[in-house]
Amino acid sequence: MIAPLKFKGVLRILHALVVFFAVAMPVADAKEILVPNYMDARERIPVPDLKAYGRIRFVTTVDFPPFSFLDQTGRIAGFHIDLARAICDELGVLPQCQIQGLPWAELEGALKTGQAEALISGLAITAESRASHRFTRPYLALPARFALRIDANPGGTGADALAARRVGVMDGTAHEAMLRDWFPDIKTVTFSRSEWMFDALRANKIDAVFGDGLQLSFWLSSKTAEACCRFFDGPYFSQAHLGEGLAIAVSPRNAPLAMAFDHALAALTRNGRFTELYLRWFPNGLY
């Protein structure tokens, strides 16, 4: 998976939060949340002929909340699941589309052997992966964010106000490297467990935390956070540290599918369906 999503130790916590927000929380007003848009509204991407595809099989994982996971009924659910279905619906091929959950280690093999036509699960876009896959355009990038206590007064509205202050970050992550590279004047405090980092922030033992905007978004709205904290400045994007973003991968022999998916993603952006899905699964926003 891409670098900002390497927080396996909190997946179960995130899973519980995702289920709670997807079921119990009202969707926020779209006017209050910045929704990402990676498509030029003026561009019209042609749709290749898909008649040769009797079925279009997507593969994903079941332990990647809120993107793909097993819900309380044991069914696969998540942002990626809804997005894949919306893409198929937009292309008029929904009856031909299937979505299967597999272990992460088996996903690329399913593409290579023809057991699947598309992989939608955060495969990192690198020079190596580009050599063996065709990617759609990114549809979502996961930013790094700062969070601090609501009662904190850093003395400014930008990250420079945190100079010489103690900022927590998870040890050995891409976010630690990014924090040290981008903000060398900040005093970096590393943690091996996210709950220890968040407890330190609530207890005023550190001035702020820096990490994955997705994880922070769900934590800030959780009961555990006790409404203590808020996002501060940002969002921050770095291809060098966090990758190019999320995209759908297909085998080179299925290159027409990537173009078709790009067409659908652009259409979903224009007609508002992508915004609807984003607000459903990220009700507090990432940006």
Q: What are phi and psi of 122, to 5 degrees?
A: 75, 30
Q: What letter represents residue 240's amino acid? A: A
Q: What are phi and psi of 70, to 5 degrees?
A: -90, 125
Higher pLDDT, 96 or 287: 96
Are residues 71 and 31 in contact, defined by beta-carbon separation less than 8 angstroms? no
Are residues 67 and 268 in contact, defined by beta-carbon separation less than 8 angstroms? no
Q: What are phi and psi of 133, to 5 degrees?
A: -140, 155
Closest C-alpha among 98, 92, 81, 86 to residue 51: 92
Q: What mean pLDDT, rounded, does the chain reach?
A: 88
Burial of 123 (0-12, 13-18, 19+ CB in 10 A): buried
Closest C-alpha among 117, 95, 98 to residue 107: 117
Per-residue pLDDT tens digits for 136-153: 999 999 999 999 999 999
Specify whether domain 144-242 bears CATH 3.40.190.10.
yes
SS3 1: coil
How is domain 3-141+245-281 classified at the CATH fold level? Answer: D-Maltodextrin-Binding Protein; domain 2 (3.40.190)
Residues of the chain with CATH 3.40.190.10: 3-141+245-281, 144-242
Rounded distance between C-alpha atoms, residue 211 and residue 174, angstroms: 9
User: What average pLDDT does the segment 158-183 reach?
Assistant: 97
Are residues 113 and 102 in contact, defined by beta-carbon separation less than 8 angstroms? no
Q: What is the DSSP letter of 87?
A: H
Per-residue pLDDT tens digits for 37-95: 777 767 778 888 898 899 999 999 999 899 999 999 999 999 999 999 999 999 999 99
- Measured on CA atoms in the order 29, 12, 79, 131, is the torsion positive or negative? positive
